[in-house]
A and B are shown apart, each in its own frame.
Chain A
């Protein structure tokens, strides 16, 4: 079976840094995606990791350890607009079949 775990909810303060963890156990692995989803909207692409290590993109960074089945999304200089759900997804197969975690709801407070 496929299992992807991430915390259900997190809270953080505007201007702070938050790390959202994701662990996975899947049959097969091509890479790991992070998507952001505001309430009632479509998921939007944030990052993609294939190799171990840290990928940095502006205020957002994503880390992957394939041997540990672990990833995290790091959000710096938090803004109120970062309040959203963050979805971790493992890519399977040659065509990126995505298996999603349940998502982490992040609330950013002033």
Chain B
């Protein structure tokens, strides 16, 4: 596609529920990154994929967070047993390869009530 797309654009859920956030990277981009941005802060690194594998998941806050990229294109970030502190904008970025400029999607605004 022309740019990185993310769905849904907004998600409201209740504490304890499970959510999935989807990212469609720019066509042909092999590197994919997830970041989380809280209000008034810069994005915070969560996880990096090169192809299908998670090469660095050191930013995932805890084991409630998991991400997959089974075919090396679309990625899904999964959050189990959501907590109010998970409320943030979840940003996805892709690049043509490791070390190249990252292009961001519009984000998914998650609100946990």
A102 in contact with B107 (CB, 8 Å):
no
Q: How far is the CB of B107 from chain A (nearest CB, A)?
A: 6
Q: Is B75 an interface residue (CB 8 A)?
A: no
Stretch at the interface among B11-19, B38-46, B65-73, B79-87: B38-46
B56 in contact with A45 (CB, 8 Å):
no
In the complex, which range does the number of interface residues on chain A fall in? 20 to 34
User: Quick one: CB contact mask for A26-67 with B, threshold 8 Å, 1 for yes?
Assistant: 000010010100000111110010000000000000000000
Q: Is A108 an interface residue (CB 8 A)?
A: no
Total cross-chain contacts (CB, 8 A)? 60
A102 in contact with B104 (CB, 8 Å):
no
The 26 sampled A-B contact pairs (Cβ below 8 Å) are A4-B42, A30-B99, A33-B101, A35-B104, A42-B4, A42-B104, A42-B106, A43-B43, A43-B104, A44-B104, A45-B101, A45-B102, A87-B42, A89-B42, A95-B31, A95-B48, A95-B99, A96-B98, A96-B102, A97-B48, A97-B56, A99-B45, A100-B44, A102-B40, A103-B41, A103-B42
